[in-house]
Amino acid sequence: MTELVFAVEATSVQLAWRRLPRPEVTFEIDGRRFDVDARGPAWYRDRRPLSGGRGGPGALVVDGLEPATRYDIVLHAPGRPAERVASARTAAPPPGRVLARFATVGDCHIGERRFGPARALGDPTPLPDGMAPYPVRALRAALEESREWGAETVIAKGDLTHVARASEAETVAEVLGAAPMPVHAILSNHDVRSGADVATILSRGGVDAGPEARAVDLPGVRVVLGHSPVRGLHAGRIESSHLEEMAELAAGAAGPVVVVLHHPPGRGRLPRYYPPAIGWPDSRALVRRLAEANPAAVLLAGHTHRNRWYRAGPLPVAEVGSTKDYPGQWAGYTVYEGGIAQVARRIAAPDVIAWTEMTARALGGLWGWWSPGSLADRCWSYTWPATSGPPEP
């Protein structure tokens, strides 16, 4: 099995696996047993036959655990002795009461048909009856699973379309507009590629979208949405006037602020990785101005299709991976009186996780190593600085 513990938060653990020793097994955690059917969907078994009576990919969430507690994970499989296969430690939450929960999705690339630069992977042809293309089914499942987790609002962080065709934007509007919670969207480089007005199409579908700086006030935190794409560029830019609008919204918050952009800030004069981030001069101005405007600021980004947590100057930054390629995920944010916690969970729907496991083989398997990041990149807690003042209840 690959790394089994994918996500932890204060009272839950998510296990995820590529294969299991048997198609039907039982996991035991804290004296409780969870039966797992790991046969996988029929189309996956046809394309990736499982030898030796093994099971395929899947995921399991175990709730009701104690915070900051270590748990052993024991596997029971027919014909094998019980085996401790991993351990997990639940997170220590920030101080205070839970005030709000929201989720993010991003890099959905609705309209994409194949993934990978060479020997690209695609869905089975023809698609089984009732199965949507992989970008669509991944986004739908992410919205449903984040709702089950408790998200009261969703932020869609760009690259919602693949090449900004009107038909792609209409599909995004249909999927996001069907979500049972409010959805706020920002645009990205892929969403400004053609002549289609993606923001207007999304707005007609009931999704709050647009290039202007906006604020979404939730209990205990203000979420500021910014705009970083420029048509014709892969990297991001932040115009000085737009940065001032974002800073004013951050400064006007009653308490802490979460700033959401598609592109992450650059971390030096020379690019350190691909795809390109916000240029260095704009990144320096962004970090400095946001920190001045509100010391209790956290920046969330996408674009890189990977998970990373780091600091850009005084500003904590979290990059979160794509819904539609490995590891295939969404992120949940729990706002406490004293801080905020992120959990990045894999999309567990069988037709999605079977697909995203296949995409781990892209780039000769490097994608499966590069994109997930560490557990600390995916799941973290941040305590608001003492200077932030009390958040609104």
Q: How far apart are CA 329 and CA 335, in angstroms?
A: 20
Q: Residue 333: what pLDDT? A: 98
Q: Residue 2: what pLDDT? A: 59
Rg of the chain, C-alpha, whole Å: 21
Q: How far apart are CA 232 and CA 109, in angstroms?
A: 17
Residue linked to tokens 């748990």: 71
Q: Residue 53: what pLDDT? A: 74
Neighbours of 136 (CB within 10 A): 19
Domains 5-89 and 98-388 share a fold: no
Structural domain boundaries in the chain: 5-89, 98-388
Give yes or no for a contact between 383 and 341, defined as CB atoms under 8 angstroms apart.
Answer: no
Q: Residue 149: what pLDDT? A: 98
Beta bridge partners of 223: 216, 258
The full 3-state SS of the chain, as one line of letters, equals CCCCEEEEECCEEEEEECCECCCEEEEEECCEEEEEECCCCHHHHHHCCCHHHCECCEEEEECCCCCCCEEEEEEECCCCCCEEEEEEECCCCCCCCEEEEEEEECCCCECCCEECCCCCEECCCCCCCCCCCHHHHHHHHHHHHHHHHCCCCEEECCCCECCCCHHHHHHHHHHHHCCCCCEEECCCHHHHCCCCCHHHHHHHCCCEECCCCEEEEECCEEEEECCCCCCCCCCECCCHHHHHHHHHHHHCCCCCEEEECCCCECCCCCCCCCCCCECHHHHHHHHHHHHHHCCCEEEEECCCCCCEEEEECCEEEEECCCCCCCCCEEEEEEEECCEEEEEEEECCCHHHHHHHHHHCCHHHHHHHHHCCCCHHHHCEEEECCHHHCCCCC
Write the class of the CATH domain 98-388: alpha beta
Q: Residue 393: what pLDDT? A: 34
Q: What is the mean pLDDT of each run of 10 residues along the chain (393 residues)?
A: 87 96 95 93 83 87 98 95 96 97 97 86 91 97 98 97 96 97 96 91 94 97 96 91 97 97 86 83 95 97 96 96 98 98 98 96 92 97 76 39
Q: How far apart are CA 60 and CA 15, in angstroms?
A: 5
Q: Residue 117: what pLDDT? A: 80
Q: How far apart are CA 323 and CA 309, in angstroms?
A: 18
- Spatial CB neighbours of 252, under 8 Å, sequence gap ≥ 6: 215, 222
Q: What is the CATH number of domain 5-89?
A: 2.60.40
Give yes or no for a contact between 188 and 202, defined as CB atoms under 8 angstroms apart.
Answer: no
- Spatial CB neighbours of 247, under 8 Å, sequence gap ≥ 6: 289, 290, 292, 293
Q: How far apart are CA 47 and CA 350, in angstroms?
A: 15
Q: How far apart are CA 103 and CA 163, in angstroms?
A: 25
Cis peptide before 126 (omega within 30 of 0): yes
Q: Residue 391: what pLDDT? A: 42
24, HSE (Cβ side, Cα atoms, 13 Å): 2
Q: How far apart are CA 174 and CA 97, in angstroms?
A: 35
Q: How far apart are CA 11 and CA 334, in angstroms?
A: 12
> 9 is written with which tokens?
């938060």
